[in-house]
Structure 1
Amino acid sequence: MNKLYRLLIIDDETSICTSLSFALEDKYHIYTAHNEADALSIIKNTHIDIVILDLRLGGVSGIDVLKKIRELSLDTVVIIMTAYGSIESSVKAMKSGAFYYITKPINIEELNLLLMKVEEYINLNTKIRYLSNNINGNSKYNIIGNSKKIKQVFDLIDRVKDVDINLLITGESGTGKELVARAVHFHGNRKNGPFNVINCSAIPNNLLESELFGYKKGAFTGALDEKKGIIELSNKGTLFLDEIGDMDMNLQTKLLRVIQEKEIRPIGATRNIKLDVRFVSATNKDLKVEIKENRFREDLFYRLNVITIKLPPLRERKEDISKLVEYFIKDINVKFDRDVKGISSGALKALENYKFKGNVRELRNIIERAIALSEDEYIKEEDLSEEIFIKENIFVDNTKFIPIYVGDSMKEAERKIIKYTLHKFDGNRKKTAEILGIGERTLRYKIKEYKL
């Protein structure tokens, strides 16, 4: 759904305002003003995206009005209309901050083309402001939050980024482990070197070795050319080994040798290559348990785990949720070309009470879905998925609330009523059947039908 921009037409001729309003009303929210005072009042009280301003507004110079508009709103794009079309007046208007000018009588096709350029300009500026806020806003190292636990992470990054030792980043899926790895590299003493990422769980073991170490031409069937491995490509920089806990034991042995000797031998090669690589690893597994189960080498663990940075799950830093939501709304607005302004207090409270299993990544997905479905300027409770309101995820007393929305079928409403009542009575079927006024046999049938 594309945003309808607010467009103000300022002209002392009523006929001009009327005709332009009629021509543009399907594409814009139209406002009109016939004098300076009304125009400035509208701009003070309403965010106007685009102004079409007559160069002569009765006895007032349009240039003077333009300057006052710029003082009130730097973001508003102003197009000057002139019946004279003189180069001098047009240049003066552009120097005073006009985006462009158009001559009377207005050619609507020409105006529409100009307005398309204005929209592109506004969209570009929006993205630039967003990126600027992202870099300079409520974040550090591009990680959003100011809770005590996330500040402890920032403190560790500050202390280790310039120290050439290997790091292990631990935390559940979706907590932002790669963000920390990037922060350590791009803010540390290796920032001018390469930063490479390889996901040890996403590549089959028979291919992972060649991806890590590279190979010589003819080393195996299909090796038609020489290929450098990602370890060699990371020389003088950082290699981020994501999901290191899923690496095959045989490869763990070879990686340990690389870390110890600081050199690699590509597959099929006869000589070793000296390297200077910082290894940053990440896992969502407990590697000490993996060691006990003989799935991870203890000596490799101690080589990788010189310093550990543990990322807290989102449920342990709930005070960061509002800032994350604000950040995601801005980001997704740009992605979807939407203008969602925020989130209702009820919806935010529901998110703050939700036990995020997918952490920050899950929160982003929730906000993206809500913005895609919402038809309002604010995300409301009904824009959130029903799972957020299930009893086991709620810490506040909401046991009387069942999220049934306009458009739900009768079967869906019945399924929800049975499901939430069962939750209320901890799965007690007798009590549930009694409360719902149905027989236990009927309840058993419904549970089976709805796969509860």
Structure 2
Amino acid sequence: MSNITGTTCPRILVVDDEAHLRELLEITLIKMGLDVDSAENLHIARSLLQKNSYSLVLTDMRLPDGSGMELVEEVNLHYKNTPIAVITAFGSTDNAVIALKAGAFDYVSKPVALDHLRKLVRSALEVNLSNAEPEVMSHVSEQGPVSFLIGSSSGMQEVRAQIARLARSMAPVIITGESGSGKELAAREIHTSSSRAGKPFIAVNCGAIPETLMEAEFFGYRKGAFTGAADDREGFFQAANGGTLMLDEVADLPLAMQVKLLRAIQERRIRKVGATLEESVDVRIISATHQNLSNCVNEGRFRQDLYYRLNVIELHLPPLRERLEDIADLSLAILGKLAGGQVTLSPAALQALCTYDFPGNVRELENILERALAFANDGCIQVADLALRHHKKSVTEPVTGETGHSERVISDIVSAQDDNVFSPPLLPCSLPEYLERIEREMIIRALELTRHNRTQAAELLGVSFRQLRYQIQKLKIQD
């Protein structure tokens, strides 16, 4: 008998003490072309697991002789390649979250929505097609972005191993790490390594959406729901249906939106703005933040119940300064993308990068190398081309316009120059060329410090706005 995937028919084990629900589940699964065994308690389920090989175990959380959690733990311990999903009572999503943390593949709530059950089963069968751990992308695409997850350090090996495990589950994941450490890329790799790889991956920056538009952006809206709603429009949840929705900088969500998001995640249903009926959605949620969400909860800026829904499994990305041994591989990959492998790093330049602390992480490494390419001679980047500085925390503080802050930043720039911001070039060059290089780097640094506010950058540099604009055009500096 063939199954929905066209291979030998998989066998499903259903464990539930309610006879009518077992019968409903059996009929539904048989109609999908699957073989089904059923058990009314833990004792029978354990006996069947010892005798047969299953592609999926579906168990109720409450059983006459124990808890479904016991079965979740046993299956994950003794039958590692068998996904197990749990059935929870309506409103008991807390139990589902506990099961997901213990290793459950997914969950379905009572009363069981058969459409959701079918999707769950298909996802589990796709995961079970191979007993091998999913292969995580760690190479450099010729056209795509450089993977921030390149590297052989112990930290990155652990991250890749975690991603391989996370790809086998539908549990919500929260990715933590400093800005520039590659959180979105890690989310993409979880998605592309999972059974949802052929479905959409939608990444949303929660801090970039005006609060008044959030509900419409996330859930969509009906024509005429508000001024300017000329047509029906889908939101992020509908766009990601069947796939993965990444909530980047989730800590920036306003409290009012957190309530609505919590309900959508718990019920797996959303309602468009202006609509009267809800619609079901099948979305895996991956969140990311550089903030400490636990502190945000304690400060009242983030709902505790939403925190527990999102923080089922945490994946932490180490900062680049904790994996400096990966810099050589990362630099090679970045230069391969930027220059097609035609430009290399001198040994001294590589050593300089390996002694820098990279407050901006891999994103900063990419910016440094991209800038250095403009100065490199003879296809080789030297130390002077990098224009590195010894990082000081105060230098990276944004200009806010508060009294005395500009003076502190100017002082920091002068101090940074004393720390050899602009190293003398190792290769001979003319004085005008060297002065132009310094001028260019000073302007770029001032723009970075002021978040590309040209008025404030001109103030820092001690020139007029018109002079700064002229130099930016002359030196072809892009904001």
TM-score bucket (shorter structure): 0.5 to 0.7
2:317 equivalent to 1:311: yes
Among candidates 374, 378, 381, match of residue 379 of structure 1: 381
One-letter amino acid of the structure 1 residue matched with residue 247 of structure 2? L
2:215 and 2:275 map into 1 onto residues whose CA distance is 14
Aligned residue number for residue 241 of structure 2 = 235
Aligned residue number for residue 210 of structure 2 = 204
CA contact (8 A) 1:351 1:388 kept: no
Instruction: Name segments (4+ residues, structure 1) moved above 2 Å.
Output: 131-136, 139-143, 386-393, 398-402, 404-410, 448-451
Q: What RMSD, in angstroms, separates the aligned Cα atoms of the two structures? A: 3.3
Question: Alpha carbons of 1:284 and 1:256: their partners in 2 closer, same or farther (altered >3 Å)?
Answer: same
Among candidates 182, 189, 202, match of residue 176 of structure 1: 182
Shift of 1:143: 2.5
Aligned residue number for residue 333 of structure 1 = 339
Among candidates 271, 283, 301, match of residue 277 of structure 1: 283
Give ranges in structure 1 of 5+ residues lacking alignment: 1-130, 417-447
How many residue pairs align between the two structures? 277
Shift of 1:370: 0.6
1:133 and 1:449 map into 2 onto residues whose CA distance is 42
So what's the TM-score if we normalise by structure 1? 0.56
- Higher RCO structure, 1 or 2 (CA under 8 Å, sep 6+): 1
Larger mean Cα displacement after TM superposition, 254-263 or 188-197? 188-197
Shift of 1:186: 0.8
2:221 equivalent to 1:215: yes
Aligned residue number for residue 360 of structure 2 = 358
One-letter amino acid of the structure 1 residue matched with residue 370 of structure 2? E
Aligned residue number for residue 60 of structure 1 = none
Among candidates 149, 153, 160, match of residue 147 of structure 1: 153
One-letter amino acid of the structure 1 residue matched with residue 342 of structure 2? D
Aligned residue number for residue 348 of structure 2 = 346
The superposition leaves residues 160-207 of structure 1 with CA deviations (integer Å, 9 ceiling, x where unpaired) of 101111000011111001111111111111112221111111121112
Aligned residue number for residue 369 of structure 1 = 371
Shift of 1:403: 1.8
Shift of 1:389: 8.3
The superposition leaves residues 111-164 of structure 1 with CA deviations (integer Å, 9 ceiling, x where unpaired) of xxxxxxxxxxxxxxxxxxxx996259xx99773111000111111111110111
SS in 1 for 2:288: strand
One-letter amino acid of the structure 1 residue matched with residue 164 of structure 2? D
Among candidates 255, 266, 270, match of residue 272 of structure 2: 266
Question: Alpha carbons of 1:344 and 1:274: their partners in 2 closer, same or farther (altered >3 Å)?
Answer: same
CA contact (8 A) 2:148 2:181 kept: no
SS in 2 for 1:271: coil
Shift of 1:404: 3.6
1:145 and 1:291 map into 2 onto residues whose CA distance is 34
CA contact (8 A) 1:350 1:389 kept: no
Question: Alpha carbons of 1:273 and 1:317: their partners in 2 closer, same or farther (altered >3 Å)?
Answer: same
Question: Alpha carbons of 1:301 and 1:391: their partners in 2 closer, same or farther (altered >3 Å)?
Answer: closer
Give ranges in structure 2 of 5+ residues lacking alignment: 1-136, 396-417, 426-430, 443-459, 464-479
SS in 1 for 2:189: helix
One-letter amino acid of the structure 1 residue matched with residue 384 of structure 2? E
SS in 1 for 2:285: strand
Question: Alpha carbons of 1:401 and 1:153: their partners in 2 closer, same or farther (altered >3 Å)?
Answer: closer
So what's the TM-score if we normalise by structure 2? 0.53
Aligned residue number for residue 324 of structure 1 = 330
Question: Alpha carbons of 1:399 and 1:203: their partners in 2 closer, same or farther (altered >3 Å)?
Answer: closer
CA contact (8 A) 2:357 2:391 kept: no
2:393 and 2:257 map into 1 onto residues whose CA distance is 45
